[in-house]
């Protein structure tokens, strides 16, 4: 199946130069006396690289055989991570190289979105925010509630996050998984 340029929407997935892409932004453009084009900003689903192309009206875009499934992260087994499809209960092992640094913010039993390309898992997207309990951190200095100064704290996945000095072991904090940054305290020890 092929798409037409008029099918271009945010999130449309299609093949270009042998790789799957998803549309991030698009705009109708029409130079004076010329054909209509769709200026399209898109992301390579395999490499994350973002690029822009102008597709002339009438060009066809090939559908990409990609699928996104919600899966639960079960456990780690050496260099692979095992996930379970939350609807079919099928399990799939995904190598650490595919998951990358996201592993640091992927606690067991969390639901993630797994991207399949030609039925092969090629990417994992975490929820934007997770809440995690601090397992280890130096106690804060008495009376120091400054948020400008930070200290390292360990969360249950083993990752280290910079937190304000008033955070204690046992506190639950909210983290942005895209940046790995502390956002706020959501529960006290």
Partner 1 sequence: MTEERQRLARRRPALEARARVRTALRRWFDEQGFLEVETPARVRAPGQEVHLDAIASADRWLITSPEYAMKRLVGAGFERIVSMGKCWRAEERGHHHQPEFTMIEWYRAQAPLARIAEDCEALVRLAASAAGQGVAFGAPFARVTVRELMREYAGLSLEGDESAAALAEKARGAGVALGTATAWDDCFFQVWLDKVEPRLPALGPVFVFDWPAPLGALARRHPGDPRLVERFELYAAGLELANAFGELTDAAEQRARFESETAARQARGKVVYPIDEALLAALPHMPPTAGVALGFDRLLMLALGAAQIRDVIAFADDEI
The reply on whether position 31 binds partner 1 by CB under 8 A is: yes
The reply on whether position 59 binds partner 1 by CB under 8 A is: yes
User: In the set 2, 35, 93, 189, which binds partner 1 (CB under 8 A)?
Assistant: 35
User: In the set 56, 100, 125, 176, which binds partner 1 (CB under 8 A)?
Assistant: 56
Spatial distance between the Cα atoms of 81 and 180, rounded to a whole number of angstroms: 20
Least gap, CB of 30 to partner 1 (angstroms): 6
The reply on whether position 37 binds partner 1 by CB under 8 A is: yes
Spatial distance between the Cα atoms of 45 and 66, rounded to a whole number of angstroms: 9
Spatial distance between the Cα atoms of 66 and 77, rounded to a whole number of angstroms: 26
Spatial distance between the Cα atoms of 103 and 158, rounded to a whole number of angstroms: 10
| Binding window for partner 1 (CB under 8 A); candidates: 31-39, 77-85, 120-128, 145-153 | 31-39
Spatial distance between the Cα atoms of 36 and 34, rounded to a whole number of angstroms: 7
Least gap, CB of 182 to partner 1 (angstroms): 34
Spatial distance between the Cα atoms of 55 and 12, rounded to a whole number of angstroms: 14
121 CB neighbour count, 10 Å cutoff: 20
Least gap, CB of 53 to partner 1 (angstroms): 7
Residue ranges that bind partner 1, judged by CB under 8 A: 27-37, 39, 53-56, 58-60
């Amino acid at each position: 199946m092929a798409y037409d340029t008029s099918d271009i929407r945010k999130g449309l997935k299609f093949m270009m130069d042998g790789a799957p892409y998803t549309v991030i932004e698009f705009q109708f453009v029409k130079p004076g006396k010329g054909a209509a084009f769709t200026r399209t900003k898109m992301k390579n689903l395999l490499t994350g690289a973002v690029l822009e192309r102008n597709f002339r009206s009438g060009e066809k875009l090939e559908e990409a055989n990609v699928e996104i499934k919600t899966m639960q992260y079960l456990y780690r087994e050496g260099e692979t991570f095992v996930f379970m499809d939350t609807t079919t209960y099928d399990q799939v092992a995904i190598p650490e190289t595919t998951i990358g640094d996201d592993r640091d913010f992927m606690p067991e039993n969390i639901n993630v979105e797994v991207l399949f390309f030609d039925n092969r898992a090629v990417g994992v997207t975490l929820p934007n925010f997770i809440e995690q309990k601090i397992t280890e951190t130096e106690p804060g200095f008495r009376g120091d509630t400054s948020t400008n100064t930070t200290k390292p704290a360990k969360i249950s996945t083993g990752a280290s996050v910079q937190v304000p000095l008033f955070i204690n072991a046992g506190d639950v904090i909210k983290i942005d998984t895209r940046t790995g940054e502390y956002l706020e305290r959501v529960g006290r020890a």
